[in-house]
């Protein structure tokens, strides 16, 4: 009964959108924001945790300026409500105001943390459909990047946040997708040996061979499963699901993958890309399966291409992934090929 209700909610949320049949530029009904360019204004908002010190905000502003953007601060970007960057209404209000402001070309989150799911019902999705703009972030922003795409069709971006480390790797991948409108092949760095005989970092592992195409959905596993059963839950049929997490005991990763299986989401996907599961370990005193065993038990029975180790997650160097854009996963090569531009 609950599963039927979930499908009804997802269907109701999709009514304003056209059918999701494939087209050369992606699913019909997909919205693409104009690509960002130097001199554009980015709205900087704090939809998750509060920032308690002045310096992190200043570094974030300077980082966006170094990328060539002007920066407009959300009215409540310095607000605090407990651990959150303001009340739910304040945080959603800043997001809505940035999408309504004709002088703002894109919106980016300051930092992650928690709280994004609380504000989903307060977002003005009709306004976003009228004025599609770049929107990006990761971690807790998994809630907003998936909800906005689900409710509006807008391709959003699982990208560095303003407060992230903007190193050369992350900057190049961000610019390729968001500013230059390219359709890049996303592949981990090759042959970074350092003092080792073989590569020991950023390796990929093929769990099940093959290639598959579909729209990208996913992000942080914890946040994604917290959305289960809601009208903001992504569409999984035929999708390429990407997942990452940080600081979770393995038994919790197991439980969250079980949630994805129980909702029927896992059985519907065309392929799976596992990013970095940083500091996900058994925990002191916990006997548990290994991550290898957990991933094998949940994902191998799907009989779809799966690879592990993509540079997605709570790491310094990271890909930017367009949620809703069509990509081809090659699990043997450990790559994601974007099949069309993610911005107009």
Neighbours of 97 (CB within 10 A): 19
Q: Is the dihedral of CA 18, 33, 163, 200 positive or negative?
A: positive
Cα 134 to Cα 146: distance, rounded to the nearest angstrom: 13
Listed residue (297, 313, 301, 309) closest to 248, CA to CA: 313
- Please pick, among 139, 164, 170, 342, the residue that the annotation labels catalytic: 139
Query: What is the Cα–Cα distance from 170 to 134, expressed in whole angstroms?
Result: 17
* Residue of 63, 314, 328, 342 marked active site: 314
Question: Across the strands, what pairs with 270?
Answer: none
User: Rg of the chain's alpha carbons, rounded to an integer?
Assistant: 19
Distance of CA 91 to the CA centre of its chain: 19
**DSSP E strands, the chain:** 41-45, 70-73, 106-109, 134-137, 156-158, 185-187, 205-208, 211-220, 240-246, 271-278, 306-308, 321-323, 326-330, 335-338
- Active site (annotated) includes residue 297: no
Catalytic residue, chosen from 244, 248, 328, 342, is 244
Q: Which H/E stretch holds residue 294?
A: helix 291-299
244 included as an active-site residue:
yes
Is there a catalytic annotation at residue 139? yes
> Residue 220: helix, strand or coil by DSSP?
strand
Sign, Cα dihedral of 229, 231, 235, 237? positive
Burial, 337: exposed, middle or buried (Cβ in 10 Å; 0-12, 13-18, 19+)? middle
Phi-psi category of residue 300: left, alpha or beta, with phi > 0 → left and psi -120 to 50 → alpha? alpha
Q: Which residues are catalytic?
A: 139, 244, 314
């Amino acid at each position: 009964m609950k599963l039927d209700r979930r499908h009804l909610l997802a269907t109701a949320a999709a009514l304003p959108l056209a059918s999701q049949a494939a087209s050369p530029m992606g699913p019909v009904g997909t919205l693409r924001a104009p690509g960002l360019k130097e001199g554009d204004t980015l709205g900087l908002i704090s939809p998750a945790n509060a920032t308690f010190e002045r310096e992190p905000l200043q570094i974030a502003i300077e980082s966006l300026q170094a990328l060539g953007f002007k920066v407009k601060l959300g009215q409540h970007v310095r607000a605090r409500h407990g651990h959150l960057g303001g009340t739910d209404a304040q945080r959603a209000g800043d997001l809505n105001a940035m999408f309504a402001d004709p002088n703002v070309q894109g919106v980016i989150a300051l930092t992650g943390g928690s709280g994004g799911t609380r504000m989903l019902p307060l977002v003005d999705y009709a306004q976003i459909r009228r004025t599609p703009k770049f929107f990006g972030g990761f971690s807790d922003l998994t809630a907003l990047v998936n909800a906005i795409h689900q409710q509006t069709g807008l391709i959003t971006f699982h990208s560095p946040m303003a407060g992230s480390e903007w190193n050369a790797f992350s900057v190049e991948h961000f610019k390729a997708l968001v500013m230059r409108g390219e359709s890049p092949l996303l592949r981990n760095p090759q042959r970074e040996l350092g003092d080792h005989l073989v590569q020991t970092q950023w390796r990929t592992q093929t769990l099940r061979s093959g290639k598959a195409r579909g729209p990208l959905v996913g992000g942080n596993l914890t946040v994604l499963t917290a959305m289960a059963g809601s009208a903001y839950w992504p569409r999984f049929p035929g999708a390429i699901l990407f997942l990452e997490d940080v600081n979770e005991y393995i038994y919790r990763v197991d439980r969250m993958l079980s949630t994805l299986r129980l909702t029927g989401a896992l059985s519907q996907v065309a392929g799976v890309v596992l990013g970095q599961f940083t500091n996900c370990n058994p925990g002191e005193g916990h006997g548990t399966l290994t991550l290898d065993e957990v991933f094998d038990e949940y994902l191998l029975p799907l009989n779809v291409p799966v690879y592990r180790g993509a540079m997605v997650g709570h790491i310094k160097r990271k890909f930017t992934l367009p949620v809703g854009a069509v990509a081809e996963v090659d699990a043997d090569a450990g790559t994601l090929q974007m099949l069309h531009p993610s911005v107009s």
